[in-house]
Amino acid sequence: MNIILLGPPGAGKGTQAERLEKRYAIKQLSTGDMLRAAVAEGTELGKQVEAIMARGDLVPDHVVVAIVAERIDAADCANGFILDGFPRNVGQAEALDRMLKEKGKGLDSVIELGVDEAILIDRIDKRAAETAGGPRPDDNVEALRQRLAVYFEQTVPVSAYYRDRGLLRTVDGMADIETVSREIENVLKRAA
């Protein structure tokens, strides 16, 4: 089963992806986690993307598309994958379509975690306050707000892209973690 989780920063994509990973024995692929690992290891790629990430901007499409293309061929994705944080714009969604076609794979479901904008901004400010000085240099107020601006400008159109293809399912991301999990499971049952 191949799934995409869409939603703004702070919507709980990471938490839900981890649950899906266990439930369905499919692999969570978070481009953010992979890029952070490259930064932490100080690789050439990490050096290229560090400043961009710290600002809350998107790294170039070809960089993330190459990472995903390589990663979904790995043995741990044989059962399927959950893309978390990718695609972030329509160009990446188109590149993903081409890539999956070439590999003879497809998407089963695109699940969007719907979040109220005002509540989201509030959550983001709380997250910035709680995590200040923490492990993520992009969890300060400016970077989080920039990530949100990029989300509205570039990632929101990705939902329409998948809606047009009949793949998009929206779940209320404001509910508690258990309820959101259950809703996602219901969506996936219907898609099966």
> For binding to ligand AMP (CB under 6 A), which residues are involved?
9, 31-32, 35, 52-53, 56-59, 64, 85-86, 88, 92, 138, 147
For the bound state, the minimum distance from the C-beta of residue 189 to ligand AMP, rounded and expressed in Å, comes to 27
Torsion of CA 68, 74, 78, 83, to 10 degrees: -20
**Residues forming the active site:** 13, 88, 127, 136, 147
Cβ-based nearer residue to ligand AMP, 59 or 82: 59
Burial 55-78 (b: 16+ CB within 10 A, else e): ebebbeeebbbebbbebbeeeebe
Cβ-based nearer residue to ligand AMP, 58 or 189: 58
Which residue type is seen at 67? Answer: I
Cβ-based nearer residue to ligand AMP, 31 or 140: 31
Q: Which residue, among 77, 102, 72, 74, has the nearest Cα to 87 in the 3D structure?
A: 72
Which DSSP letter does residue 139 get? -
For the bound state, the minimum distance from the C-beta of residue 186 to ligand AMP, rounded and expressed in Å, comes to 25
Q: Which residue is nearest to ligand AMP (CB)?
A: 32
For the bound state, the minimum distance from the C-beta of residue 143 to ligand AMP, rounded and expressed in Å, comes to 8
